[in-house]
Amino acid sequence: MEFNLTILPNEFTENKLNVLSLVSLSIEVKDEYGIVVERIETTPSEKEYKLATELGTNMRVEVHLIPGQEVEFYPVVTAL
């Protein structure tokens, strides 16, 4: 099962993500050139993640499954 999500800066109000997932996810903040400027690996026990990077207009946040994990349910990721 694949899960790839892109969230644009205008979807954020608090620079945070709410994550509901039974497996770990990779969160990457990318600049306007696609260069990763921040990387976070989630854990199933934590639900809220604060981005240290202030998002610019042309940046994006990408969320992916970490390869090799068994996934029964799609993760739910919401921009806050």
**What pLDDT sits at residue 39?**
98
Q: Determine how β-strand 60-65 pairs with β-strand 25-30.
A: antiparallel
Greatest alpha-carbon pair distance for the chain in Å reads 35
Q: How far apart are CA 68 and CA 80, in angstroms?
A: 28
**What pLDDT sits at residue 70?**
86
pLDDT 10s digits, 45-62? 999 999 999 999 999 999
Q: Listing from the earlier edge strand, what are the strands of the sheet with 25-30? A: 4-7, 60-65, 25-30, 36-41
Is-above-0.95 flag for pTM?
A: no
